[in-house]
Amino acid sequence: MTRKKVIVAGASGLVGGAALTRFTNRDDWEVIAVSRRPPLVPLGNARHLSIDLSDRDECARVFGEIHDVTHIAYAALNERSDDLIAGWSDPSQIEKNESMLVNLVDPVIQGNPGLQHILLLQGGKAYGVHLPDHDLKVPLQEDAPRHPGENFYYRQQDYIADLQSGASWSWTILRTGGIWGAAVGANMNTFLVVALFAALRKEAGLDMPVPSGFSGYMEPTDVDLIAEAIEWAGQAPTARNQIFNITNGDILASHDVFEMIARELGMAVGEKRPIDLGQEIGALAHLWPTMVEKYGLRVTSDLNELLGTSLQIAGVLSRDFPPEEAVRWGLLSTIKIRKAGFHSCMSSEESVKNNISKYQNLNVLPR
């Protein structure tokens, strides 16, 4: 059995944590987990390196000493903490995210002639879903033209494609829907925001309301499905130098997520009404430090630290959408990846159940 060696960058995040779990459960993989913060999930037999990918000198020193790497799974991301959405078009943020990838890949390429594959993670912003004036064609397909203006996804893709030209290794890009998984302090972990909202209301003896108005439609992507696709892409000839959309495989109204999470937590579902997640979580935030102690949770009592920048974007799940904008955040075609040979899927109902269990087993949410 040939042993492979993977660097998982962004190991403390949603996708990185799932990839870490998947590869550490394989006897034929050696795993190096890279992130500034320790991963939430158990390390298993992986080695963790606490590295700031924006520090070029540190990356050159550390990665220059690592050899026999065959795969890179790159799920690292830097967001503006003061204004997440503005950061998506901020030239300095675009430059920083490009540099982070370069700082890791350049020294690995130089010292690892046996490299086989680099996986990059992207989202719907690659299609311009964050640009209100950009005309989107639904479903979003991988061959869609690039939107006007800068995007760090484009910078990273061009860098990898140029670097790969003539090389024996290959690359694959996965573009996901809204990501559901287990992490703390993550950038866009909307699932945890709603689950925490539910846990706070349950502790207060309240039911779980459902947002009123017209719901947006979404295609979630479970992190375990992404991790499976990362492993597949690293070995499938049909994934060589290709971009693929990946989602669970079903479509749901975002307002229904509130009811789905309520069922998993054994809560009564309340009336439909307008919901401002930031305000409502803030009104119940005083309960959280006591809950951390009461239930023996292994997380910070600081909700801002727990949620990271996620609260800035979570309102998209409870928003009352004008009907013409119901698919503004995009529905992704997954025909291409299926034709390439990746056929796995997951119901979003199952994804909710699995991720609530993960957060409870990791002592992030009360049982």
Please check whether residues 111 and 191 belong to one and the same domain.
Answer: no
Q: What is the mean pLDDT of residues 345-357?
A: 97
Please check whether residues 152 and 260 belong to one and the same domain.
Answer: no
**Residue 335 within any structural domain of the chain:** no
CATH number at residue 14: 3.40.50.720
What DSSP element (H or E) covers 117? strand 117-122
Please check whether residues 82 and 29 belong to one and the same domain.
Answer: yes
Strand-pair category, 117-122 with 208-211: unpaired
Q: Is the pLDDT of residue 204 over 70?
A: yes
Provide the pLDDT confidence category of residue 364 given band limits of 50, 70 and 90.
very high
Q: Is the pLDDT of residue 1 over 80?
A: no
pLDDT of residue 26: 86
pLDDT of residue 324: 84
Number of domains in the chain: 2
pLDDT of residue 95: 96
Please check whether residues 143 and 258 belong to one and the same domain.
Answer: no
Predicted confidence (pLDDT) per residue in 38-76, tens digit = 999 999 999 999 999 999 999 999 999 999 999 999 999
Distance between CA 183 and CA 180 in Å, rounded? 10
- Share the mean pLDDT of the chain: 95
What DSSP element (H or E) covers 85? helix 84-87
**Residue 341 within any structural domain of the chain:** no
Please check whether residues 21 and 60 belong to one and the same domain.
Answer: yes
Please check whether residues 202 and 291 belong to one and the same domain.
Answer: yes
Strand-pair category, 252-253 with 217-218: antiparallel
Please check whether residues 175 and 192 belong to one and the same domain.
Answer: no
Strand-pair category, 47-49 with 252-253: unpaired
Structural domain harbouring 300: 187-220+251-329+346-361
Does the CA dihedral 183-185-187-191 come out positive or negative? positive
Predicted confidence (pLDDT) per residue in 234-280, tens digit = 999 999 999 999 999 999 999 999 999 999 999 999 999 999 999 99
Please check whether residues 242 and 265 belong to one and the same domain.
Answer: no
**Residue 336 within any structural domain of the chain:** no
Please check whether residues 237 and 200 belong to one and the same domain.
Answer: no
Please check whether residues 37 and 70 belong to one and the same domain.
Answer: yes
Q: What is the C-alpha end-to-end distance of the chain, expressed in Å?
A: 41
CB-CB contact of 303 with 285 (8 Å): yes
pTM: predicted TM-score of the whole model, two decimal places: 0.96
| CA nearest neighbour of 14 among 251, 366, 367, 362 | 362
Please check whether residues 239 and 286 belong to one and the same domain.
Answer: no
Among 26-30, 268-272, 331-335, 342-346, which stretch is predicted with the lowest mean pLDDT? 26-30
**Residue 334 within any structural domain of the chain:** no
Among 84-88, 127-131, 228-232, which stretch is predicted with the lowest mean pLDDT? 84-88
